[in-house]
């Protein structure tokens, strides 16, 4: 008989762990899911590293931006509906099916590359299908966390989820760069497929049952519109979401230019590219530490403004750098400062949202981050091809200054 995990059933396990960030890992079900999500995230960033490098060899920065856009844009259009899907369907099945679809897409891309059938349109079709699955998965996974740990452990569980995602941003690109150096171009795609399969196995082994899906009243669209009306009634949320969109559009999208930075400016090979890409993830981990340090000292608005200004400075310096190791440090700074701003924005939304709206507001946060940055990547890619690579990076830094000014003069957070 499968064991259903609820706050009551896992309450005993948490009593012996002490008050620490790692305490949610004392709950076996959360540990299975978290480990699977971490491995899956590593595979996803490993594949993205390989995709951007492969596409850059096929064309210019505009093509890189287009392919990256196709990979992530489903989150922009489906993110809000994914929250409603997570509320109305068995989340465990949603996680399994979405991971399965992404696994199949990775295998097919790997086969195309291995058999020399790869074409930019074929690649974009598979990435678009995987992107749709990811858009549904990421919200379902976040909505699953409250089922795996008791309520008093949610903050720690959310922090650990941030940790695994950003640690994967560090580990995945480095592994991707090493595989590009030591193996064939198709190997990273098979490795990513294996990461999805591992997550699926861990979910099944966990034997966790989700609460009964709520049929609710009204259509999925009506639920989405209800969430939008809630945000419209709290106008400060619109400005915070706009800040998250702005910093994602300009402050995070520069990663699509990293392959060209390595090829045209730094003149380094694939494994060096992977390490430089991974440094943005290492910086994000440092950004999490900055959030933990500043959260009891300054308000959310101050953290958002500081993150934007630091992001602008690091991107401007990154645009001017000709030294590989300096560029690595600056990339880490850009990744950390982006995380500082975005984490403060999402935390401000979650702290001031009523419980019944948490899922839909969280999905809006995911859309503002994951759904917007690929559009910025396309814009920066076009600027790089039309004007210059350095100009595109410097432009992104200047735009982050504008976002910081918007925060200072227009954003407010209740109880900040």
What confidence tens digit (pLDDT) does each residue in 264-273 have?
A: 999 998 789 9
The partner residues of 333 in beta bridges, in order of sequence, read none
**Are residues 47 and 348 in contact, defined by beta-carbon separation less than 8 angstroms?**
no
pLDDT tens figures, 203-227: 999 887 776 655 555 677 787 888 8
363 alpha carbon, distance to own chain's centre: 12
pLDDT in tens, 58-72: 888 999 999 999 988
What is the tens place of the pLDDT at every residue in 327-385? Answer: 999 999 999 999 899 888 888 887 788 867 776 787 788 888 888 999 999 999 999 99
Residues 153-188: tens digit of each pLDDT: 776 787 788 788 889 989 999 999 999 888 888 999
Sign of CA dihedral 272, 373, 75, 31: positive
DSSP 8-state class, residue 3: E
Helix (H) or strand (E) run with residue 235 in it: helix 235-247
Identify the pLDDT of residue 316. 96
Look over the chain and give the mean of its residue pLDDT values, rounded to a whole number. 87
Give the C-alpha distances (Å, rounded to integers) separating 361 from 111, 260, 344, 348, 350.
39, 36, 15, 11, 7
- Cα angle value 220/225/229 (rounded, 5°): 150
Residue-range domain boundaries for the chain: 24-206+215-410
Alpha carbon distance 369, 363 (integer Å): 10
The pLDDT assigned to 65 comes to 93
Least trusted range by pLDDT, from 6-20, 33-47, 58-72, 384-398: 6-20
Q: Is the pLDDT of residue 79 over 80?
A: no
Superfamily, domain 24-206+215-410: MFS general substrate transporter like domains (1.20.1250.20)
Query: What is the torsional sign of CA 303, 309, 313, 316?
Result: positive
Between these two residues, 353 and 241, which has the higher pLDDT value? 241
Report the SS3 class of residue 4. Answer: strand
Q: Residue 15: what pLDDT? A: 38
């Amino acid at each position: 008989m499968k064991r259903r995990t609820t706050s009551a059933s896992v309450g005993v396990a948490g009593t012996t762990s002490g008050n620490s960030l790692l305490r949610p890992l004392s709950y076996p079900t959360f540990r299975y899911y978290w480990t699977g999500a971490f491995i899956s995230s590593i595979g996803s960033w490993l594949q993205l590293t390989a995709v951007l490098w492969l596409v850059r060899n096929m064309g210019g920065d505009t093509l890189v931006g287009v392919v990256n856009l196709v990979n992530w844009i489903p989150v922009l259009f489906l993110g809000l509906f994914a929250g409603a899907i997570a509320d109305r369907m068995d989340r465990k099945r949603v996680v399994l099916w979405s991971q399965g679809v992404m696994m199949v897409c990775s295998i097919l891309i790997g086969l195309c590359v291995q058999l020399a059938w790869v074409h930019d349109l074929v690649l974009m079709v598979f990435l678009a299908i995987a992107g749709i699955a990811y858009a549904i998965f990421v919200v379902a996974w976040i909505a699953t966390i409250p089922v795996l740990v008791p309520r008093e452990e949610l903050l720690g569980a959310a922090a650990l989820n941030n940790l695994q995602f950003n640690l994967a941003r560090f580990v995945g690109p480095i592994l991707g760069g090493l595989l590009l150096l030591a193996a064939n171009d198709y190997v990273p795609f098979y490795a990513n497929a294996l990461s999805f399969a591992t997550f699926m196995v861990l979910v099944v082994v966990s034997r966790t049952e989700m609460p009964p899906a709520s049929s609710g009243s009204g259509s999925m669209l009506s639920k989405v519109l209800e969430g939008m009306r809630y945000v419209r009634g709290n106008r400060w949320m619109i400005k915070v979401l706009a800040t998250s969109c702005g910093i994602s559009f300009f402050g995070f999208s520069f990663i699509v230019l990293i392959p060209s930075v390595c090829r045209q400016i730094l003149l380094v090979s694939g494994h060096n590219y992977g390490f430089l890409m991974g440094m943005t993830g290492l910086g994000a981990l440092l950004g999490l530490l900055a959030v933990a340090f500043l959260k009891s000292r300054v308000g959310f608005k101050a953290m958002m403004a500081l993150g934007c200004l630091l992001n602008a400075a690091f991107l401007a310096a990154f645009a001017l750098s000709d030294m590989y190791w300096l560029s690595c440090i600056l990339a880490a700074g850009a990744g950390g400062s982006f995380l500082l701003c975005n984490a403060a924005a999402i935390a401000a939304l979650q702290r001031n949202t009523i419980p019944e709206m948490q899922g839909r507001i969280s999905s809006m946060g995911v859309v503002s981050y994951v759904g917007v940055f690929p559009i910025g990547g396309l814009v920066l890619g076009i600027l790089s091809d039309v004007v210059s690579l350095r100009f595109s990076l410097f432009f992104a830094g200047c735009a982050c200054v504008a976002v910081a000014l918007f925060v200072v003069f227009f954003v407010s957070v209740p109880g900040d």
